Amino acid sequence: MEYILEQLKKLMSIDSPSGFTGEVTRYTMEQFQKLGFQPYLTNKGCVVCDLGGEGNPLILSAHIDTLGGMVAEIKKNGRLRITNIGGLNANNCETENCRIYTRSGQVFEGTLQMNDPSIHVNKKFSEQSRTFEDMEIVLDEDVKSKQDTEALGIRTGDFVCFEPRTVITKSGYIKSRFLDDKLSVAILLGLAKRISEKKISLKRKVYVFITVYEEVGHGACGALPVDAKEIISVDMGCVGEGLACTERMVSICVKDSQGPYDYDVTTELIRCAESAKLDFAVDVYPHYGSDADAALAAGYDLKHGLIGAGVYASHGYERSHIDGVNNTLKLLQQYIRKD
């Protein structure tokens, strides 16, 4: 658990919205290499790592890209209008600090604010809609015009990355933006560590596949290992009204908005969770699509499943718990290990 949480903190410290994942994938490659594996990058930028084993190959997929923004316009007042990357919601990032990465390698800081955000000045502040059209990045630079901002080297198309604010409480809660899905990447690194230390004997061939465009819908649409027979997305487990999962559990999804997951895979996941006496939930996610869905939509002939540690307030300031992490790790171990 210490290793997983250490990796989570490091991953969270590396900004990586979809399309801007080069640094975080390099870091992830290095961690697999330190564990004695030989990962490689696909042309698209995904990380693939063979963890060993023989026969009936399984892919464990997680995504390392996150929500974020991109400069859509430099306004006359020198501030920035942004467009969201993935499902970033303006309500969830109002007043959040951010970083702007220019194409020349400079990094500037700022804050996403409402247009005219002072309550002492704007009496209609509470009535205004929260959309990215009504908000702007206020740069922490002395800029008063479009020309001032352009002179810094900022331009349309620069990435805007929001502060994750990662906190792990004494009671074991893990709070941060972008637990979806860096928490799962950290869990898979923890699983790889156990395999490298020979604490797990594999009953089948296992690949880890870390994708970089999941938040925009095409993470696992290509370059999957050609011999694979099955894919399990390790992503966030949904927590909310009408669902059984909590942050302390591992969730097994049997259906999302794309349709049902493979019957044999979900049945075996449930059997493994019961056998290991895990704290788990079986749920239907109403508004969700996974990398496993994307792989099937791309034409891959695979059985598919979806599991993950419970995450509350998805796509906002998210919360999970080390118990949910532990249950997820144990379910993966139970699913892949020899009896």
Residue ranges of domains in the chain, CATH in brackets: 2-66+178-336 (3.40.630.10), 68-162 (2.40.30.40)
Say whether pLDDT at 281 is over 80: yes
Distance from C-alpha of 156 to C-alpha of 72, rounded to nearest angstrom: 5
pLDDT at 149: 98
Report yes or no: 72 and 84 within 8 Å, Cβ to Cβ: no
Q: Which amino acid is at 157?
A: G
pLDDT at 338 over 90: no
Q: Is there a cis peptide before residue 283, judged by omega within 30 degrees of 0?
A: no
CA 67 to chain CA mean position, Å: 8
| Cβ density class 217-251: b for 16+ within 10 Å, e for less | ebbbbbebeeebebbbbbbbbbbeeebebbbbbbb
Q: At what angle do helices 2-12 and 22-34 cross, to 10 degrees?
A: 160
Q: Are 303 and 229 in contact (CB under 8 A)?
A: yes
Residue 148 has pLDDT above 80, yes or no: yes
User: Does 107 have pLDDT greater than 90?
Assistant: yes
Asked if 187 and 4 count as a contact pair (C-beta separation under 8 A), the reply is yes
Q: Is 65 exposed, middle or buried (0-12, 13-18, 19+ CB in 10 A)?
A: buried
Confidence of residue 339 (pLDDT cuts 50, 70, 90): confident
The structure tokens listed for 269 are: 């996941």
In this structure, the number of other CB atoms found within 10 A of the CB of residue 129 comes to: 10
Mean pLDDT of 309-335: 98
Taking the C-alpha atoms of residue 330 and residue 339, their distance in angstroms, rounded to an integer, is: 14
Least confident interval from 12-26, 112-126, 276-290: 112-126
Write the single-letter amino acid at 17.
Answer: P
Q: What is the pLDDT at residue 314?
A: 96
Quick: pLDDT tens for 286-315: 999 999 999 999 999 999 999 999 999 999
Catalytic residue among 30, 73, 94, 214: 214
pLDDT on residue 113: 96
Partnered with residue 8 across adjacent β-strands are: none
Taking CA 320 as the corner, what is the angle to CA 202 and CA 218, rounded to the nearest 5 degrees?
65
Average pLDDT of the chain, as a whole number: 97
Whether 214 is a known active-site residue: answer yes
Would you say residue 270 has pLDDT above 80?
A: yes
Can you give the pLDDT at residue 229?
98
Closest CA to 328 of 304, 305, 310, 302: 310
CA 291, 293, 299, 305 torsion: positive or negative?
Answer: positive
25 touches 64 (CB < 8 A): yes
Percent of residues, the chain, with pLDDT higher than 90: 96
pLDDT tens profile 198-248: 989 999 999 999 999 999 999 999 999 999 999 999 999 999 999 999 999
pLDDT digits (tens, 9 = 90+) for 45-84: 999 999 999 999 999 999 999 999 999 999 999 999 999 9
Residue 18 in contact with residue 161, Cβ under 8 Å? no
